[in-house]
Amino acid sequence: SLNIVAFGNERDGFSEDSQQPRLIWSYLRKSALISQINSSLSASHVGSQVFTEYQACIFGNVRLVVHDCPVWDIFDSDWYTSYRLIGGADIIVIKYSVNDKTSFQELKDNYVPMMKKALNHFSVPVIISAIGARKNGVPCSCPLCTSDRRSCVTTSEGVQLAKELGATYLELYTLNDFYIQKYFGGVLEYFMIQSLNRKSSEKMKKRKKMQKGYRVKPPQLEQPEKMPILKGEASHYNADLHNLLCCCQCADVAFYPEDLSMAVEAHKIILCSVSHLFMLLFGVKSLSDTHDASIVQLAQSLFAVETGDPFPSSPHGAPPCVLPVRVVVKDSVFCSCLPDILHFIYSGAFQWERLEEDIKKKLKDPDKTEHVLEKVKCILKTPGKLNTVKASKSHQIKQLNNTSLRLFFNTPVLADVIFKIQGAMVPAHRAVLVARCEVMAAMFNGNYLEANSILVPVYGVSKDTFLSFLEYLYTDSCCPVSILQAMSLLICAEMYQVMRLQHICELYIITQLQSMPSRELASTSLSIVSLLKKAKFHNSDCLSTWLLHFIATNYLIFSQKPEFQELSVEERNFVEMHRWPSSWYLKQLADYRNYIHSQKCHCTVM
């Protein structure tokens, strides 16, 4: 079938000749190609005529439907109907009278933009027909008339309109047989033949596609299940060291005023990690090693280390085998602020502004406050560098503890405990161990043999693994070099109940396995099932669950390995349930392959 939609009125709006023929009706009535013409009128909701519908046959058996809309008001009153007509049209005809300039201008200004908007969505040939012979009469001089009301529409204006719409422009000087049948009819029939050829071609393509018959589509491979997400644990390194000061466990130094009226306990290892002055005071460095005279002068003027006699009141928490060092603070004002200064040092955050505020509240004297703060800055200064308030800001020295404690890792300096492991001796510091590990805190402060011993044997773990464990306690970081080392460190962390280190090791193992290519995973000698069993045995629930999903996701690789048989019945059932690709997909794939081979055709996918 063909659908033609015609818009516009070919009659002169001021002509009194109501019998002037219509272009579409004249063509349908006179064309030799048209037969069986029927017409009907369509009206709007107010009862006025909107368009005339003609139905006929063309080229013998092709159904032709023509909608002739003489008024443009359909775009204003019923945009949906006009848009539907354009969308269903195979050819669009636009008509206007060359002697009605007002109607043409209204068409150009108001309705052409609507037409262009609709034609942007549909590729339809358009014919513009300028109808009538131009009348060059004198315009009416009556002031009630528009001066150009009867002026003519020029050829150039019509051509310009056709360019805007991408249309074919025709001028029909009169609606006689020549202009209707030969001129307008020839162009219209050309577009009708083009449209029928296009429809026939599309129909042929669709028929050929249907003739290929139904093809079995290959099965769709679903995505594997998402692996469980392991979240890391926040560091509590600074809080551990601050709690060490609050609990006063393993204190090996006590600060006294000159009258020995009170004691403020601390730990040499922590103080030396933040200050070269304390290193000099406790013999970690000698005078010859210290090249900053201001630090030596401050140490001698501010502190005095006494040895020999026990304290008037024994500090709490020090092991009997370690004699605490008594330090007398010569500056009474500084000594009164010492608890706040130690909390500032042990907090790890080094909140300088808070320390200033605390000392101001305690002393209530600006000169004394400045005096104490200057001494604190001098204690924390780096030898040979100019000390300023800015140098003591939080962002400057926030990480001083965990970087400086590394200097005392696996060294005998200030060590008060030695671990014996695989015949080797590993020195350590009780204060760090107690602060960072609850199991060791109970071991060194409870009724255990280790509480009063310098030499502590370690069993069930290798020297390298234990050293990595101690390094984490001192520095809050660890860097395993392999999955097996990470698993050994995880077992050690579980033994001493250091949960954050255990999570770090879990995350390292998962990251390494995820980055391993399938080819390497198939050829590796690393037993994933063995890792799974170790993770379960040592209560690493997150890692064991992830490893089960990992085996299920890589089912085709692991099911071919001998270790797969070591899975328990419960584990095997879980893997089979969550395997990827699923058994259903493999069955569908086998059926598809059998179909392809039975049809003796090539698989378009595989």
Strand order in the sheet with 2-7: 34-43, 49-58, 62-69, 2-7, 91-97, 126-131, 168-172
Examine the pLDDT at 389 and tell me if it is beyond 60: no
What is the pLDDT, as a whole number, of residue 396?
Answer: 45
**What pTM was computed for the model?**
0.60
The DSSP code sequence of 169-212 is: EEEESS-SHIIIIIIIHHHHHHHHHHHHHHHHHHHHHHHHHHHT
Q: pLDDT per residue over 262-283, tens digit each? A: 889 999 999 999 899 999 999 8
- Per-residue pLDDT band for 19 (boundaries 50, 70, 90) equals low
Q: Residues 6 or more apart from 560 whose CB is under 8 A from it?
A: 522
How many whole angstroms separate alpha carbon 28 and alpha carbon 19? 17
| pLDDT value at 397 more than 80 | no
Which of 123-127, 328-332, 538-542 comes out lowest in average pLDDT? Answer: 123-127
Look at the block and give the residue holding tokens 């202009």: 179
**Higher per-residue confidence, 207 vs 301:** 301
- Residue 316 scores a pLDDT above 50: no
Least confident of 193-207, 324-338, 396-410, 455-469: 396-410
Q: Which residues of 438-457 are buried (b: 16+ CB within 10 A; e: fewer)?
A: eebbebbbeeeebeeeeebe
Higher pLDDT, 77 or 482: 482
Res 315: pLDDT: 44
Which tokens is 393 given?
């800001």
Q: Which domains does the chain have, with CATH numbers?
A: 2-134+152-202 (3.40.50.300), 250-308+322-383 (3.30.710)
pLDDT bucket at 164, cuts 50 / 70 / 90: confident
Q: Which residues have CB under 8 Å from 177's CB, separation 6+?
A: 30
Tell me the three state secondary structure of residue 255: strand
Mean pLDDT of 206-234: 68
Instruction: Measure the CA–CA gap between 368 and 120, rounded to whole angstroms.
Output: 84
Mean predicted lDDT score pLDDT of the chain? 82
Contacts of 288 (CB under 8 A, 6+ apart): none
Does residue 564 carry a pLDDT above 50? yes
Assign 394 a pLDDT band (cuts: 50, 70, 90).
very low
Residue 384 confidence (pLDDT) above 70: no
User: Cα–Cα distance between 520 and 554 in angstroms, integer?
Assistant: 12
Phi then psi for residue 498, to 5 deg, are -100, 90
Q: Tokens 């001089």 sit at which residue? A: 141
More confident residue, 123 or 409: 409
User: What pLDDT is stored for residue 279 in this prediction?
Assistant: 92
Q: Does position 605 have pLDDT exceeding 60, yes or no?
A: no
Contact present, 101 and 134 (Cβ < 8 Å): no
Task: Give the rounded percent of residues in the chain with a pLDDT score beyond 70.
Answer: 82
pLDDT at 44 exceeding the cut of 70: no
Whether 349 has a pLDDT exceeding 70, the answer reads no
Q: pLDDT tens digits for 503-519?
A: 999 999 999 999 999 99
For residue 419, which of 393, 452, 457, 447 has the smallest C-alpha distance?
457
pLDDT of residue 332: 92
Average pLDDT of the residues in 442-458: 87
In SS3 terms, 494-545 reads as HHCCCHHHHHHHHHHHHHHHHCCCHHHHHHCCCCHHHHHHHHHHCCCHHHHH
Residue 11: which pLDDT band, with cuts at 50, 70 and 90? confident
- DSSP state, 11? S
> Is pLDDT of 483 > 50?
yes
Residue 353: pLDDT over 50: yes
CA distance 335 to 464: 43
The reported pLDDT for the residue numbered 404 is 74
**How many residues belong to the chain?**
606
